[in-house]
Amino acid sequence: MQEKLYSEFTFKREHIDSVLSLHAEKNTVPFIARYRKEMTGNMDAEDIRDIIDRYEYLENLEKRKAEVIAAIDERGKLTDELKKSILAAETMKAVEDLYAPYKSKKKTKADIAREAGLEPLAVYIQANSNLAGLNAEAEKYINEKVADVETAISMAADIITEETGHNADIKARLRELYEQHGEIVSLPKTDSKERNPYEDYYDFRQKMTAVPPHRLLAMFRGEREKFLKLKIEIDEDICLNAIGKICSDNGMAENEITLKCMRQAFKKMLELSLELEFRGELKEKGEIKAISVFAENLKNLLLTPTVRNRVILGIDPAFRTGCKYAVVDTTGDLLDYGVMYPTKPQADFHSSRQIMLETIGKHKVDAIAIGNGTASRETEEFVAQIISDDSLDIQYTIVSEAGASVYSAGSVAKKEFPELDVSIRGAISIARRVLDPLAELVKIDPKSIGVGMYQHYVSNKKLEKSLKDVVEDVVNNVGVDLNTASSSLLSYVAGLSETLAEKIVKHRQSIGRFTSRADLMKVDGVGEQTFNQSAGFLKVYEGEEKLDSMFIHPESYDAVYAFLKAVNLSTDKCELVKLAVKEKNVKSLADKLGIGEYTINDIIDNLEKPDRDIRDNVDPVVFKQGILSIESLKEGDMLTGKVSNVVDFGAFVDVGLKNDGLVHISQLANKFVSDPAEVVKVGQVVKTRVLGIDKDRGRLSLSMKV
């Protein structure tokens, strides 16, 4: 199996072997990627997962081959040639094709014909293009199970049809033809005249290989919702010609019966199975892209920079039930909360204004976060008016509420604020999403964060794994403060489970705070393996050991101090490390200290900038003071906004209106763009030009072309 990996990946053999060995030893992907770079040749987490996933696929393939060989052998049908073909198969699909003729436990018409002794007659039919002597030959096979000549010929034909339909070479060739010529066709399933989102697919036909993933998912969704009927079509003659050629190459004569058997094999067996197969592949193609888009968007959203040293007032807008608000301090702790009614039907502007001003003054609020759900537009107008009327030196931002209700009603929120109403918890979450997006968003099921494309119509298992990997990578690349992190955040740290994360929080509550990474070993359930995997990602600030606040693993502390001594530096002056090694051969020094070159360079980077946060390189939260209305816009206006979602057909941009504007893929750049993710990402601040305005539906078309 590893030979196969060596041929498929461009990495060195020893690095691939190391990845598999480290994985077998229960090392986590983040740990391998960051702290075993010498062993892997500095592979990133994605490369490591790709190798592990491929190896596991090949393992499962070998296991399946053994199962199929055993099953066929049990039926007494295994030949040396068949066994050789199964062992040589390179995909699960190829193995299943070879197994198909022996798979059914129910007797087929062909099985009944064979039991009646008609296999020699089937061989006769396939061997002769001239069937003048067929009736005479068929008479030899009349018995208690075969009533007459006509029945004998019909039963022999059943054998030919089944063998043709199960022929692995024929299936492989037809797959090629379907990929080259097959079309997906979409038609309306209902006569309903009601408008729906799937009208563009009422008379749609396109080569399967050319249909973009987002269209595939839209069509499958339309079929699921009973608006569309989908089918896969191909020129039947092309397929029958291909079947005929393979049969001829295998020695089958062309005659009236074999031609009929080929057609029946295609119509009754191959056409149906290939349609189901390609429908599955097309759906999977759409799913893979949708999951990829969601994962990339989620990653960029989680990397939204923190807003430091600000007291945030979060507002969860509503009409009838009022706007819930909550104030959190610079660390996210709750200071105050309540309800005001600036929106209809109460529209109590005066009292709501007093509440706002008193709350802002009492807690020295620096910024306001408004949820983008129901009544968001009206609440924004209220906030903007107060800022303007009272000349407040304060800014506000609109925050996505996606998943806030899931958090509010979930177990995490109940544990944090058991005495508070669900809607107040939502306001707290909105405020905290501005303060530290990552710390707050990890409390929510990633599927509920709303930056995907048809995520509710893809494989739940695949989506969950992909999103979990994304969150895990981001959390471990950002690092976690051992003394402030919630159990939700800790549970994504390499080596930690939800149970251990909760135990760490309880231990912290009992001791006050961790003074070192080493204290982690005092937590019940944390052993050497867990400590080894997690310690490098858990940071302790202002503790007993300065290195505990850096991405330097405790296993390297002795080497770090030896290194600092060699360059005449102390931890108090470690930011001068690059100056100190300027005239030195770092590789030679690393070799002398027994540290790998990748590791020594990481150590130097961390010593120089111990507080580096990868989120600092991402566009910050967009704050504003004045409101924008769609009524005030005209075509050609220039607007600055933040990308809120990236999909196959373009990007949605929050420019401050109730609904995000759409930049179609054709308007993303002055060049051809095949994938929007190549040009924009969630959280990116972009300049746009207004292309079109639909005031009735509140829609805005934008362009990023200069």
**What tens digit of pLDDT does each residue of 19-56 get?**
999 999 999 999 999 999 999 999 999 999 999 999 99
Q: Is the pLDDT of residue 453 over 70?
A: no
- For residue 486, give the nearest of 314, 301, 331, 312 by alpha carbon: 331
Q: Which two tokens stand for residue 659?
A: 């609904």
The DSSP output letter for 344 is T
pLDDT at 283: 92
Average pLDDT over residues 315-331: 96
Percent of the chain beyond pLDDT 70? Answer: 99
Q: How many helices (H) and strands (E) does the chain have?
A: 30, 15
Q: Is the pLDDT of residue 128 over 80?
A: yes
Mean pLDDT of the chain: 94
Q: Is the pLDDT of residue 161 over 90?
A: yes
Which tens digit of pLDDT belongs to each residue from 488-531?
999 999 999 999 999 999 999 999 999 999 999 999 999 999 99
- Name the phi and psi angles at 399, rounded to 5: -115, 135
Q: Is the pLDDT of residue 190 over 90?
A: no
Tell me the three state secondary structure of residue 91: coil
> What is the rounded CA–CA span in Å between residue 641 and residue 621?
10
Q: State the DSSP H helix or E strand holding residue 339, giving kind and residue range, or none if neither.
A: strand 334-340
Percent of the chain beyond pLDDT 90? Answer: 82
pLDDT at 614: 92
Using the structure block, give the residue that is written with the tokens 């000349």: 391
Q: At a CB cut-off of 8 Å and minimum separation 6, what does 540 contact?
A: 481, 482, 483, 514, 515, 516, 517, 519, 548, 549
Beta strands in 529-682 (DSSP E): 538-539, 638-647, 650-654, 661-664
> What is the rounded CA–CA span in Å between residue 153 and residue 4?
48
| List of long-range contacts for 324-328, beta carbons under 8 Å, 24+ apart | 324/421, 324/423, 324/424, 324/426, 324/427, 325/355, 325/359, 325/427, 326/424, 326/427, 326/428, 326/430, 326/431, 327/359, 327/363, 327/365, 327/431, 328/428, 328/431, 328/432, 328/435
Is pTM beyond 0.85? Reply is yes
Angle separating helix axes 557-566 and 597-608, nearest 10 degrees: 70
Q: Is the pLDDT of residue 563 over 70?
A: yes
Contact at 8 Å (CB) between 224 and 248? no
**Lowest-pLDDT range of 140-144, 400-404, 558-562:** 400-404
Which tens digit of pLDDT belongs to each residue from 226-269?
999 999 999 999 999 999 999 999 999 999 999 999 999 999 99
**Lowest-pLDDT range of 147-156, 188-197, 321-330, 589-598:** 188-197
Domains of the chain: 2-103 (1.10.10.650), 312-435 (3.30.420.140), 505-617 (1.10.150.310), 630-703 (2.40.50.140)
Q: Is the pLDDT of residue 202 over 90?
A: yes
> What is the rounded CA–CA span in Å between residue 553 and residue 536?
4
Which tens digit of pLDDT belongs to each residue from 607-652?
999 988 999 888 888 888 777 778 889 999 999 898 999 998 999 9
Per-residue 3-state assignment (H helix, E strand, C coil) for 231-260: EEECCHHHHHHHHHHHHHHCCCCCCHHHHH
Average pLDDT over residues 697-701: 89
pLDDT at 551: 96
Which tens digit of pLDDT belongs to each residue from 669-690?
999 998 999 999 999 999 999 9
Which tens digit of pLDDT belongs to each residue from 383-422?
999 999 999 999 999 888 888 888 999 999 999 999 999 9
Tell me the three state secondary structure of residue 187: strand
Contact at 8 Å (CB) between 65 and 89? yes
> What is the rounded CA–CA span in Å between residue 219 and residue 225?
10
Q: Which two tokens stand for residue 421?
A: 């109403």
Q: Is the pLDDT of residue 284 over 80?
A: yes
Q: State the DSSP H helix or E strand holding residue 21, giving kind and residue range, or none if neither.
A: helix 13-24
Q: Is the pLDDT of residue 589 over 70?
A: yes
Q: Is the pLDDT of residue 222 over 90?
A: yes
pLDDT at 596: 93
pLDDT at 454: 63
